[in-house]
Amino acid sequence: MQNKLLKTYLITVVLLLLAGAAVLVVGYNYLERYEREQERLEQERIANITPTPTHTPIPTLEPEEIVEAKYKYTIEVPEGFTVLGDNVSESEAKEGKKAVLIQTDSPEFEVKIIDEYGYEVDYRSGNTLETKTYNLILPDNFKVTLKEASKTAEDYIVSVEEAEEYRWCYEYADMPKIASYAFTNALNAPDLEIRDNLDALVTPFWTDGYFTIREQAVLHEIPSEVITEEEIMEYVKTWSSFMTDDLKPDGFDAYIFTDKKTGKRVPYVKGMDVQGLDYRSRSPRDYGFSVLEEYLLPDSYRYRVLKEYAYGSDIGLTSRHLPDPEFINEKIDNFVMYTDSFFSIDSSFTKILILPTLGYSKRYDTTSVRVYFIKNPDSTGNRKWLMADMITLSENSETK
């Protein structure tokens, strides 16, 4: 009986083991098929999905198309300015100004700005664009060239005026005038080349936007083919002697000298000691204009002034000077040739006068004058050059 039960138990265990093994085999096959199916489904899912883009791609544009920028800036510049950069466009100028539109995809921009004189700067957004006016005042016979600008320097001349010192010379010669230039709306001082009347380079130094030269460039030696210094001093001394009533025609005894103690007349000899002598003027008086006019341009302004002085009452105030004054410290300088027939020269000298009315003391008159000479229009005249005008530059007197 026991053997029968044992046999039954063993058969049952074997059957259970076989059933469990079958379940394991079937389950494994099922899991493997499931995993392969899931993998297949995942691949199909991935293949069938169209992703949503995170941004809109920029299309390929034809050349005539323009990308609309995210940022737009407008700056205002003077009419003559040029603005260079990407996506830059300009409006029509109004009242000397124009608006410039700058389009960019960046919150900042940088462009190159060029003024009408050729000066350029790099301009960044948010900066201030400052301009200035540069004023140039020169004789109009100076040559001015703008190195970089498209216009000529003459385009910037705002006025041309006669120079006061040449006022009586314009009638006789093509004298320089004073030209004023205004370089407005400049980012910096314009790049200029300036050459003076001697064709020498001039370097401008701007002070508060101004650079001024009114005088001509000078030579410190007179060209020998024009005139000599000795001739110049002859002209100047003749004029100076006339101005103190010391110029008398040859052979004219202008003064009578008398010894104060004896009352006898004493003949005047140039350079003699006049202390202790009295004198009086003789009549008729000539005043020396007949001598001086040989050196003057006939009927010029200076000619008329000196002639009026010769026969006016004012010359009587200077008639107490003795004749034949001595000159010292003679100097000739600052020669300027304006044309082939017109020049000026500066002359300075000290004139020694003896004044009987002041106890025969000596007075030293130091004078500097600028004399304008014109070629004698009368080829038959005695002198090649004539004085057309003169300006007194300085005067100083000292009595000893």
Distances, alpha carbon 365 to alpha carbons 26, 328, 360, in Å: 144, 10, 15
Helix pair 229-243, 301-310: axis angle to 10 deg: 40
Distances, alpha carbon 319 to alpha carbons 17, 87, 192, 285, 354, in Å: 166, 86, 56, 10, 12
Q: Which of 387, 280, 296 is nearest to 342 (CA)?
A: 387
Report the C-alpha gap between 331 and 349 in whole angstroms: 6
In this structure, the number of other CB atoms found within 10 A of the CB of residue 325 comes to: 17
Distances, alpha carbon 322 to alpha carbons 244, 307, 355, 360, in Å: 9, 21, 7, 10
Q: Helices marked H in 252-364 — which ranges?
A: 289-292, 301-310
**All residues at 6 or more sequence positions from 268 whose CB lies less than 8 Å from its CB, including other chains:** 253, 255, 257, 323
Q: What pLDDT, on a 0 to 100 scale, did the predictor assign at position 55?
A: 34
Q: Which of 214, 160, 215, 154 is nearest to 183 (CA)?
A: 154
Six-digit token string for 224? 């020998």
What is the mean pLDDT of the segment spanning 142-168? 93
State the first-to-last Cα distance of the chain, in angstroms, to the nearest integer.
Answer: 181
The yes-or-no verdict on residue 150 having pLDDT over 60 is yes
- What would the pLDDT profile of 368-385 be if each residue is shown by its tens digit? 999 999 999 886 668 899
- Reduced to 3 states (helix: H, G, I; strand: E, B; else coil), residue 45 is helix
What are φ and ψ of residue 325, in 5° steps?
-70, 155
Q: What pLDDT, on a 0 to 100 scale, did the predictor assign at position 296?
A: 95
Distances, alpha carbon 70 to alpha carbons 59, 74, 103, 198, in Å: 16, 14, 8, 60
- Reduced to 3 states (helix: H, G, I; strand: E, B; else coil), residue 373 is strand
Q: What pLDDT, on a 0 to 100 scale, did the predictor assign at position 8?
A: 64
Question: What's the length of the chain?
Answer: 400
**pTM (2 decimals)?**
0.70
Domains for the chain: give ranges and CATH numbers.
71-124 (no CATH), 132-212 (no CATH), 229-399 (3.10.450)
Do 375 and 342 contact (CB within 8 A), yes or no? yes
Torsion of CA 190, 195, 196, 202, to 10 degrees: 60
When the pLDDT of each residue in the chain is averaged and rounded to a whole number, the result is 81
Report the C-alpha gap between 251 and 148 in whole angstroms: 70
Q: Is the peptide bond before 63 cis (omega within 30 degrees of 0)?
A: no
Six-digit token string for 102? 């700058």
Report the C-alpha gap between 228 and 380 in whole angstroms: 21
What is the mean pLDDT of the segment spanning 34-57? 51
**Identity of the amino acid at 218:** V
User: How much of the chain exceeds pLDDT 90, in percent?
Assistant: 47
**Identity of the amino acid at 209:** G
- What would the pLDDT profile of 50-98 be if each residue is shown by its tens digit? 333 333 333 333 444 445 667 888 888 998 899 998 889 888 888 888 9
